[in-house]
Chains A and B, each alone.
Chain A
Amino acid sequence: MLDAAKDPSSGHGYLDGLGAEPTTGRRGDAPKPLIVRNPSILVFLTALALFTLTVTVLSEAVGPGLISTSFVKTLGKTLCLCLVAIAMDLVWGYCGILSLGHFAFFGLGGYMIGMWLMYERTRDIVATAMAEAPIPPTDAEIVDAIGTQIFGVVGSSEFPLVWAFADSLAIQLALVVLVPGVLALVFGWLAFRSRVTGVYLSILTQAMTLALALYLFQNDSGLRGNNGLSGLQNLPGVAAPQSVVSLWFFWASAAALGLGYLLAAWLVSGKFGSVIRGIRDNEARVRFLGYSVEGYKLFIFAVTAMIAGIAGALYYPQAGIINPAEIAPIASIYLAVWVAIGGRGRLYGAVIGAAFVSLVSSWFTGGQAPDLPLGFYTVKWVDWWLIVLGLSFVLVTLFAPRGIGGLVDLWTERRAPDRHGADLGPDPGALREQEATE
C-alpha cells in the first residue's frame, strides 16, 4: 500500500564500523556493541528516563502534584500504546506484514491480567463482607459468592472454564504472553502457510479481531460480555492510594517500553533484521536464498503479539476497565495510522507516532480543545478530529512516507556522506522491483 521512499531501518546495521576497504585490517574486528552502533537507542532510553523522572517528581504522590493522578495514568497508558506501536512497527515497518489485528493481542493481554485483578479484588470484598457472619464461610461459599458478584451482570454465577486459573497471579501473568502468542502462532501458521500476503492478509487479520470482539460481546463468552472487566485500577491487597498505584504502573510501563525498545532494536539489528527487511522488500528472493520465509514471519508475528499482550496487560489496569469494544477492528487500524504518521521502519518513529497522535487524539476528543468558530460554521473537534486524523494519514502517506520520524533524517543526512547521483549504469535499474516477472 505504501512505498517507503527510503529505508531508514538499515542505517545502523550490524556491520557498521566495518570499512569499505578490504585491506585496512579491520575486517576481522568483532562488531561493536548494539548501543554504540545505534546511538538512537541511547537517546531514546535517556529521554524515557528523564521523562519518567520528571513525571514522578511532579506527581501528586511524590511532588507538588502539578501532574494529576489521572494525567499520570494517561501518560502511563500512552507509554503502553508506544510499546504496542513498536510491535506494530516490527511486524509492518520491518517485516512488511500489515497486520490490522495487533490490538486484539493487546486486548487479550488486558483481559488476562484483568481476570486476576477482578477475581482477587472481588474475593477481598466478599471475604470482608462474609467475615461478619456468625458462622465463618467455607471456601466453597466464598468462591460461590465471588461468582455471583462477578457474573451477576450476565445472569450467571458459575465460573466459566476460562477463569480456572484466575486466582493465580503467576499463571495469569504467563497467559498474558501465552494467549496472544498461541493465537498468533495458530493464525499465522494458517495464513502464512497458504502464502496469504498483502491486502488479503490485512483483511484476514481484521476478520480475526472482529470475530474475537463479537465473541467477547456475547454474555456466555465467560468474560462478562459487553460489560467487560472493571475495577482493574485497584491492586488487590494493596492499601496504597491511587496516586501511588498509578505511579507504580507508570514506572512499570516505562520499564516495559524501555525493554521492548531494546529487544526490538536487537531483533532488527543483526542478520535477522537483514532477513526480515529482505522479506518486506522481496519475499521471493529471500525464499530462493534458502530462508523459510513462513518461519520468519511466524516468528515475528508471534513475538510482536506477545509484546502487544504485555502492553495491554499494563494498559488496562491504568484504564480501569476493559470491554470488547476495545478490540474493535478500528483500534488496530489506528495503530497502523500511528506508526505510519510516526514513520515506519524506525523504532523511534513508532513511539513518536503513538505518543503524539494518541495524546492529541485524547485532547481533541476529550472536549478540551476549544471549538473553532468559522462564522458560518463552528468546528467541533469532537466530531471533526477523526476527519483531521484521516486526512493527515492520507497526506503523510502521499507526501511524507517517512513520517514525523523522517524529520530526524534532515539532520543526520546532512552529516552523512552524500551518495546521491551515483552512476546508475546503462539503465536506471529497478528500485525494489517485485520479483523478476520473467
Chain B
Amino acid sequence: MSTLLEVSGVSVSFDGFKAINNLSFQIGKAELRAIIGPNGAGKTTFMDIVTGKTRPDEGRILWGGKNRSLLAMSEARIAREGIGRKFQKPTVFEDQTVRENLLMALKNDRGPLAVLFYRPSAADLQRVVDLAEEIGLQDHLARKSGELSHGQKQWLEIGMLLAQEPRLLLVDEPAAGMTPEEREHTTALLVEAARTRAVVVVEHDMEFVRRLDCRVTVLHEGSVLAEGSLDHVTANQKVIDVYLGR
C-alpha cells in the first residue's frame, strides 16, 4: 500500500515540555486508523502539526505521491492540498444555515474574487443535498446550525469535511457527547469515508474504536507506544500500564 502521509522524527516542545517526542507515523491512501492515548498524550498536537497550526521543532512531514513537505505550507494551503480536519469541539458557523456551512466547505475555488462572483450551480446544490442526506441533516438544510443538537453539529462538521473532498481526514473525538445511536451513525460515516480516502480518528472511547475495526496507534507522552489491531495493542503490557490500567 502506498503511503499518503509520512511523519518522521517529529518533535515539538512548549516551554520546554516535550508534547511530541520523536514521533513517526505513516498512513496509506485509503486507510482507516484510530489513535488512542491518555489525556495529554499529544493526539491533538499531532493534528496541529500535520495541519500546519503548530510548527515542529524538528522532523519531516511528507505528503502525497510526490513526497512534498508540508512544513513550508500555510494552514489554508495544506487544507487545499487535501487535508481536512474536524476539531475536538464542534466548530461550525453557528450563525449560518446548514446549507451555507456545507456550501462554504464544498470543494471550489477559494480565492476572494472567485468566491465573490460564485453562484451555486445546480450540481453544487445537489451535492449539498446528498451530503446532508449522508449526515442525516437533509431536513435541516435551511436551519441555522447554531440551533442543531450537539451531535448534529458534529455530523455537520464531518459533512463539511467530506464536502472538501480531502484525501486525508483528521477527526478529533467525533463521538464525544453523542448518544449511542448517534455514535453508530458516526462510525458508519467514517468507515464509509475511509473506503476512498485516508481517515485518522482520535477517540477515547474503546467501544467506538472497536466498532471502527481498524489498525490502532497508541500515543503516549508524544510518541508511539504500540501499533496494530485493537486486540493486539490492548494485550500489550506497556499499553495496559499507561492507559488501560490507570
Q: Assuming A15-B103, A270-B118, A290-B164, is B172 touching A427 (CB within 8 A)?
A: no
**CB <8 Å contact, B119 and A430:** no
| Alpha-carbon distance A15/B96, docked complex (angstroms) | 11
Contact of A289 among B89, B104, B125, B143 (CB under 8 A): B104
Within 8 A of B (CB), among A193-228: none
In the complex, chain B residues whose CB is within 8 Å of the CB of A424: 149-150
CB distance from B104 to the nearest CB of A (A): 5
**CB <8 Å contact, B94 and A281:** yes
Cβ of B22 under 8 Å from chain A: no
Cβ of B242 under 8 Å from chain A: no
Cβ of B44 under 8 Å from chain A: yes
CB distance from B76 to the nearest CB of A (A): 5
**CB <8 Å contact, A18 and B76:** no
Cβ of A30 under 8 Å from chain B: yes
**CB <8 Å contact, B116 and A290:** no
Cβ of B236 under 8 Å from chain A: no
| Alpha-carbon distance A291/B115, docked complex (angstroms) | 10
**CB <8 Å contact, A22 and B129:** yes
In the complex, chain A residues whose CB is within 8 Å of the CB of B153: 429
The closest CB in chain B to the CB of A430 belongs to: B89
CB distance from A152 to the nearest CB of B (A): 47
CB distance from A271 to the nearest CB of B (A): 5
**CB <8 Å contact, B133 and A437:** no
In the complex, chain A residues whose CB is within 8 Å of the CB of B90: 429-430
| Alpha-carbon distance A287/B160, docked complex (angstroms) | 13
**CB <8 Å contact, A274 and B146:** no
Cβ of A380 under 8 Å from chain B: no
Cβ of B85 under 8 Å from chain A: yes
Binds A, one of B27-35, B57-65, B105-113, B192-200: B105-113
CB distance from A2 to the nearest CB of B (A): 15
Within 8 A of A (CB), among B13-48: 44-45, 48
Cβ of A189 under 8 Å from chain B: no
Cβ of A163 under 8 Å from chain B: no
In the complex, chain A residues whose CB is within 8 Å of the CB of B142: 15, 18-20
Cβ of A285 under 8 Å from chain B: yes
| Alpha-carbon distance A278/B160, docked complex (angstroms) | 14
Q: Assuming A291-B110, A438-B88, is B95 touching A31 (CB within 8 A)?
A: no
Within 8 A of A (CB), among B108-142: 110-112, 115-116, 118-120, 122, 125-126, 129, 132-133, 138-142
CB distance from B181 to the nearest CB of A (A): 11
| Alpha-carbon distance A289/B178, docked complex (angstroms) | 24
| Alpha-carbon distance A280/B26, docked complex (angstroms) | 36
**CB <8 Å contact, B122 and A433:** no
Q: Assuming A22-B129, A426-B179, is B79 touching A431 (CB within 8 A)?
A: no
23 contacts between A and B (CB under 8 A): A13-B96, A14-B119, A15-B120, A20-B143, A21-B139, A22-B138, A28-B126, A30-B119, A31-B120, A271-B115, A287-B74, A288-B76, A288-B79, A290-B77, A419-B143, A422-B143, A425-B152, A425-B177, A425-B179, A426-B150, A429-B90, A430-B90, A438-B88
Shortest 4 CB-CB contacts between residues of A and residues of B: A425-B149, A436-B87, A290-B79, A7-B95
- Sample of 14 more A-B contacts, CB < 8 Å, known A20-B142, A271-B103: A15-B142, A21-B139, A270-B115, A272-B115, A281-B94, A282-B91, A285-B93, A287-B74, A287-B75, A287-B76, A419-B144, A422-B143, A429-B150, A438-B44
Residues of B within 8 A of A (CB): 44-45, 48, 51, 53, 74-77, 79-80, 84-85, 87-97, 99-100, 103-105, 110-112, 115-116, 118-120, 122, 125-126, 129, 132-133, 138-144, 146-153, 160, 164, 172, 177-179
